[in-house]
Structures are given as structure tokens and as C-alpha cells.
Structure 1
């Protein structure tokens, strides 16, 4: 049996590369595994040799100690890999296939999956609808920041790349299909971005950047990205976005400077529950982004909210925030007849189309997010630098498949 190593959360601010079991076709007990999932048989699963697995801002929430994640949890929900073994129930996926793994695990059989709501599958997490690899309260499916990973319901979940050699040439773009590119695109779609739209995107991290690229792909006339991080704002300007530094400028005033009016057609929240207030010395104020979006989006518009919000935040600014209760100006949103779309992105709704856009040179998402390959052993450094706000998307390459790991 092969060995396996993975990135584990070891307490606030600490991750380590540890030895773990090589995957088998059974979900075993471990940190974060729901007791009702222990012993679950997985004849429908595939074992992957991980080609790339990305560090996500959602992982950072756990690593900062801002969730109820247990120590020892194996991290990583953005996975691309090569199939090395399949269970007896797998019919169409074959050994040697190069595949993208949607971060949300789904069965393909329940009522929600059949409605394309794979983000709230009813059969993979005993606690609540919806699941993901390596994430708190998501059923305990082992994370993919590892040398090898297991994917259940492989025929359903895996997106096979049609040409393996072509895919390897574009792997830094295609690795973004597991989460951030569909997630950012979903934010733009649910915000109602159309040809000629103006859109305000809060957050210039990887998901906000993906939302900006997605908005451009959808035909937006003006894409405005707001953040406090000068490097990330500079990166957004490189691919044609307008920017607002909300530590220095009020969002409505910035929008007026850019558009000549104070409201946009569509708004996207790519920040989530660790939002800060606006202004140079602003502290954490988790409802800031949502309230700002209601303020700057025109009446009858829509808000796409791919930014993460949680039901348990030990580091919340008050008791309400610690259980995910925020002080929202819902009356303003109601008065303006705004629509809201929250929750995980249903990745399978978009990943095939976005794959085709990448393969046919319609979009270069890796350049936009500054994809940076690193080794598995270098993951702790990647987490620390990403947490410090560097304008890069770290791509862990456990086997140096890209040939670009230094």
C-alpha cells in the first residue's frame, strides 16, 4: 500500500504536513468525521493521485480559529487529480483519467441533486444538507491537500478533461474549476450580471478576482472591485477592472467617480463573515459588506453572496456574530426590492462550460489570480503568506506534476 501525506489543521494559526492513511473505499473515523458516516462503504468512489490542490480563503477561516474545526482535520477542498483506482461500482471513470473535483460532494440521486442543487445534497452529510472535502461540519470527508484523495460517487462528481496532454498544459487554469472560478462566476450570475452591466465586487482576493473575470466573461461593461489591500487592487486593475480602496474612499463616492452615478446594476460579496468596516482604522464589522451592497445596488437589482458565512464563529466580535447573527439593514433591501442568493456554489452547474472557456482560450483565470505552484511541504508557508494578504493563489503540487515547483 502506498504512503500518503497531507496538510492538517493543528490549532489557530498552525498547519502541518502529516502522515495519514492511504485512501480506501470506506470512510473511517477521524477528526471531524460525523459518527453516522463512520464505516460508510464507498464502492462508487475513485482514488486520485492529487495533481493540484489549492489553498482557499475558506480554509483560512478555519486556520485562523474562526470556526469550530477540530485539531487534526485534513484540509483542502480544491482538488484536481489523476484516477489511480476505482471502486467496483464505478462504470465510466477510468484509471488514468485527469479530472476536476467539485468541492461540494453530492450523490447525484437525491431530489436536490436532480434539481442541480448539488451544493445542498441530502445524502452526504448527516448533520445538514451539503458537504465538502476537508471542511468543518461537512460530514468529515477527508481533505484533498494530500498526495492521494478519495472522491465518492465518482461517475457523478468527476469532470474528466477531454485531452489529458492539453489539460496538463493548462493545469493552472483548470485547477481553479474545483471551486473559485465557478464560485466567483456563480456570484456574478446570481447578481444578474449581463452584457452592459455595471457590477460592484466586494473583495479582491481569489474569489473576488474570479467574480470579476466571470463578470467580464458575461459581458459586463464596468467591473468595480473594492478592497483594502493595495496589491490585490493593483492586480485587479491589470485585467481591466476599476477599483476602490475602501480604507480611503466611500464606496458610493467611488462608484460615482467611476460611473457618474452612485449605484451599480449588480453587487457581489466575495468577503464573507470576517468583513471589516470601511475607513483606514476600521475594525471587524461582519455586516459591513452586505449592508454596503444593499446601499450601492440599484432598486430591483440582485446580490450574489459567495462569501462564506458560518453558524459558529468562536472569534466573532459579539455573541450574535458568534452564531452567525448579523445586524443587516434588511428594511433597505426590502424597500429596494433586492434579490439575494447565498450558499455554496453548485459547482457542477458551471464547471463544464468554464472548462471549455479555458480550453478554447476565452479566459485565463490562472493569470488573473496569480496562480503560484508550491510543494506540499511548503504549504505552511503558503498559508502564512496568503493570510498576510499576498496577491497570489497558492496551488499545492504534491508530485511536482506542473514542473514549476521550486
Structure 2
């Protein structure tokens, strides 16, 4: 039996590389696994040899201790791999296929899946609709920041690349299909971005950069990215975005006015989430800041895409309300301006095939936009520390050294 190594959350601020079990086509007991999911047979699944797996800002929330994630949880929901074993009930996916794995696990059989809302599948998480690999309160499906991983519902979920050799040439782009590219694109689509739009993107982390690139693909006339981190803003500027530094100048509407000649945009996208900070040099954590600011700067009748993560349990929150996801939002302002809000996990399967074609045709340059940086599995703990310090990179783990 082959071994397996994985990135494991050990305690707040710390991840480790540990030896772990080689995956089987069954969900076994372990850290974070819902008791009602233990022993769940997955003959509809496959075992993947992981080719690339990415570090996500959502992982970082757990590693900072800002969720109820248990020690020992194997991390990783952004997975691309080669199929090396198929379950008895798998009909169309074959050994040797190179595939992208949507981060949200979906059965393909429930009402939500049939309506293309694979982000809230009803059958994979006993606690509530929706699930993901290696994530707290998501059913306990084992994460993919590892050498090998099991993926259920393979025929329904997996996106097969049509040409393995060509796919490997663009693997740093294609690895983004599991999460951040569809997530950024969903944020832009949800915000109603269209040709000629003016767009504000809150947050210049990897998802924010993916949202900005997506807005450009959708034809936006001007994309403005705001952040407190100058290095990340420089990355946004590198592919044609306007930027606003909210550490140096807290007046978001005023900075937008200087760029557009108007203090409002047509659409806004929140790519920050629940660990948002206030604006200005003396900023502190203020989790409703981004939501309130994007309502302020979005025109009446505009739309707000909110792919940024908000949680129902945050033990490190600044106040008791925020610990359960209750935020002080100026909802009356959004109501008065007739805003449309779209929140929640991205239904990756709604977008990933089209975005794959955009990558393979050369229309999308997502790896360049997010500054994809290849690392080994052993380098993952150091990469988590660098990411936490705000480095403008999207770390891509290559567990087997397969990427040239």
C-alpha cells in the first residue's frame, strides 16, 4: 500500500506535513468528520494522484484559529489530479484522466444539484446544505493538500481536460479552476458586470485579483481594486486595474471619484469577508466594513457580488455578535438604493468548463493575474506563513514534482 503525506492544521498559526492514510473509497472517521458521514461508501468516487493543490485564503482563516476547525484536519479544497483508481460505479471517468475538482462537493442527484446549485448540495453534509474538501463543518471530506485524495461522485463532478499534454503546459492556470477563478468570476457575474461597466473590487488577495481579471473578461470599462496592502495593489495594477490604497487614504468614495469623475460604480465585489479591517492608518478589525463600503459606492439599482467568506462561528471575533456571524450592516442603505446582493459558495460547475476553454484558448491569463507561485509539499508551512503576512502570491503545491 502506498503512503500519503498531507498538510495538516495543528493549532492556531501552525500547519505541519504529516504521514497519513492512503485514501480509500470510503469516508473514515477522523478530525472534523461528521459522525453521520463515517463509513460512507464511495464506489461512485475515484482516487487521485494530486498534480497541483493550492493554498486558499479560506484555509488561512482556519489556520489563524478563526474557525472551529479541529486540530489534525487535513487541509485543501483546490485540487487538480490524475485518476489512478476508479470505483465500481464510475462509468465515464477513466484511469489516467487529468481532472479539475470543484471545491464544493455535490451528489448530482438532489434538488439543488439538478437546479445547478451545486454549492448547496443536500446530500453531502449532514449539518447543512453545501460541502467542501478539508474544511470545517463541511461534512468531514478529507482535504487535498496531499499526495493522494479521494473524490466522490466522480462522473458528475470532475472536469476532464481534453488533452493532458496541453493541459500540463497550462497547469498553473488550470489549477485555478477548482476554486478561485470560478469564485472570482461568480462574484463578477453576480455583481452584474457587463461591457462598459465600472467595477469596484474590495480586496486584492488571490480571489480579488481573480474577480478583477474576470471583470475584464466580461468587458468592464474600468476595474478599481481596493486594499490596505501596497504589494497586492501593485499586482492588481500589473494587469491593468486602477487601485485605491485604503491604508493611506480612508476616503473610498473620494478616491473612486478621482478615477471616474463620479463617487459611485455600477457594480461592486466583496473579496475580503469576515476578517475585514477598517480603513486608514490606524485601522483595526471591523468585519462589516467592506459590506457597508460597497453599498456606499455602488449606484442605485446596482448589484453586489459577495464571494468573500462569512461564517457562523468565529471564536477570534472582535465582539460577541461577530462570533456568531451577526454584523452591523447598514441594510437600510442597500434597501434605499435597491441593491441586489448575491452571497454564498460559488457553484463551480456552472463556470469551470467555460473558463477552462478561455484558458486553453489563451483568452484568460489567470496564473499571471494572481502571481501563481509553485512550491513543494514540504514548503507549504512556510508558504502559509508568507501568505499570512500578505505576500502577493497564489501558492500552488506540486506534491510529486510533476510540473515543469
Give the TM interval when normalised to the shorter protein.
Answer: over 0.9
Q: Structure 1: how far apart are the matches of 2:11 and 2:384? A: 13
| 1:271 Cα deviation from its structure 2 partner | 0.1
1:161 paired residue number: 161
> How is 1:214-293 mapped onto 2 (pairs within 5 angstroms)?
214-249=214-249, 250-293=251-294
Q: Which moved more, 1:224-233 or 1:244-253?
A: 244-253
Offset from partner CA, 1:119-164 (integer Å, 9 cap, x none): 0000000000000000000000000000000100000110000000
Q: Structure 2: how far apart are the matches of 1:236 and 1:328? A: 28
State how many pairs are aligned. Answer: 403
Q: Structure 2: how far apart are the matches of 1:395 and 1:362? A: 21
1:371 paired to 2:334? no
Q: Structure 2: how far apart are the matches of 1:352 and 1:377? A: 31
Which segments of 5 or more consecutive residues in structure 1 lack a partner in the other structure?
Answer: none
| 1:6 Cα deviation from its structure 2 partner | 0.2
Q: Structure 2: how far apart are the matches of 1:259 and 1:81? A: 44
2:137 paired residue number: 137
| 1:281 Cα deviation from its structure 2 partner | 1.1
1:325 paired residue number: 326
2:358 paired residue number: 357
SS at match of 1:377: helix
Which segments of 5 or more consecutive residues in structure 2 lack a partner in the other structure?
Answer: none
SS at match of 2:142: coil
1:80 paired residue number: 80
Offset from partner CA, 1:48-81 (integer Å, 9 cap, x none): 0000000000000000000000000000000000
Q: Structure 1: how far apart are the matches of 2:130 and 2:262? A: 40
Q: Structure 2: how far apart are the matches of 1:355 and 1:21? A: 32
SS at match of 1:292: helix
2:57 paired residue number: 57
SS at match of 2:332: helix
1:26 paired residue number: 26
Q: Structure 1: how far apart are the matches of 2:234 and 2:397? A: 24
| 1:262 Cα deviation from its structure 2 partner | 0.4
Q: Structure 2: how far apart are the matches of 1:210 and 1:204? A: 9
1:337 paired residue number: 338
> How is 1:77-226 mapped onto 2 (pairs within 5 angstroms)?
77-226=77-226
Q: Structure 1: how far apart are the matches of 2:47 and 2:397? A: 18
| 1:363 Cα deviation from its structure 2 partner | 1.0
Q: Structure 2: how far apart are the matches of 1:220 and 1:282? A: 30
Offset from partner CA, 1:235-273 (integer Å, 9 cap, x none): 101100000001122110110000000000000000000
Which consecutive aligned stretches of 4+ in structure 1 deviate over 3 angstroms post-superposition?
none
Q: Structure 2: how far apart are the matches of 1:26 and 1:332? A: 49
| 1:329 Cα deviation from its structure 2 partner | 0.1
SS at match of 2:299: strand
SS at match of 1:70: coil
2:396 paired residue number: 395
Q: Structure 2: how far apart are the matches of 1:248 and 1:221? A: 25
Q: Structure 1: how far apart are the matches of 2:368 and 2:295? A: 31
Q: Structure 2: how far apart are the matches of 1:99 and 1:309? A: 29
TM-score (norm 1): 0.99
1:36 paired to 2:36? yes
Q: Structure 1: how far apart are the matches of 2:397 and 2:111? A: 35
Q: Structure 1: how far apart are the matches of 2:94 and 2:37? A: 26
Offset from partner CA, 1:216-240 (integer Å, 9 cap, x none): 0000000000001001000101100
Offset from partner CA, 1:302-351 (integer Å, 9 cap, x none): 00000000000000000000000000000000000000000000000000
